[in-house]
Amino acid sequence: MALDGEYLKEIEAARKDLRQLLQSKKQFSPIILRLAFHDAGTYDVKAKTGGPNGSIRGELNNPANNGIKVAVDFCEQVKAKHPKVSYADLYQLAGIIAVEVTGGPIIPFVPGRQDARNQQDRGALPNPNGDAKHLRDIFHRMGLNDRDIVVLSGAHTLGRANKDRSGFDGSFTENPLKFDNSYFVNLQKEDKPGLVKFPTDKVLLQDPAFRRYVQLYAKDEKTFFAHYAESHKKMSELGFQPPRAVVKA
């Protein structure tokens, strides 16, 4: 894909439309963020397959993707206005803006992802009932490290668990439409009625290597935001080699 001026203009126009939509309909932000995570999360660093390539729109029958059609349909209204923008770019840009409009950090976005020609979901996504080994197996397969695992788990500050998707019901924080460090603060507190903790959340406190990051982010939101922005960008670019910009004479 050539990053010519026309494509970059389309990206900026899509960014503007996504921001306007999500600012007026913030309730869609959590599922949009989940869309971005799940499209990227199939990446296999050794096989060089999967990743943020837009293929998730053909993978909605995967039980791990239950409910994500809502986000795919939401993004389709922007795609219709900007057909030149790849689905791969659109979904990752939407995820970044979902974080931004709910009060989270500004995450740099580099366009140029190409859409996969076929279904790519060979890499498993995290199971909420998994243990520390499961989390490491999944995220290390993507090429992410322990800090990435913990800080990206902080995205649970947005949204809620749904019985038909994860087997759990309830939000992770008191304000599920505000991106902050309350997920980590709550992890260190006793369980509260109405709030959910997956086994994969609780293991972040049980595992010593994970726990030190939980404690850091619960105490220091600024550091959480800085690390989150780094890891989210990293996740959104798994297997992606940014193309060179083409400047027309």
Q: Which residues are catalytic?
A: 38
Instruction: Report the amino acid identity of residue 205.
Output: L
Q: Looking at 5-86, list the stretches that DSSP marks H as alpha helix, in order from N- to C-terminal side.
A: 5-24, 29-40, 69-81
CA dihedral 219, 105, 95, 172 (to 10 degrees): 20
Q: Which residues make Cβ contacts (< 8 Å) with residue 201, sequence separation at least 6?
A: 153, 156, 172, 183, 187
List, in sequence order, every beta strand (DSSP E) within the chain.
160-161, 170-171
Half-sphere exposure of 156 (CA within 13 A, CB side): 25
In the block, tokens 């140029």 appear at: 112
Structure tokens at 66: 């239950």
Q: Which residues make Cβ contacts (< 8 Å) with residue 241, sequence separation at least 6?
A: none
Cβ neighbour number for residue 128 with a 10 Å cutoff: 17
158 close to 98: Cβ distance less than 8 angstroms: yes
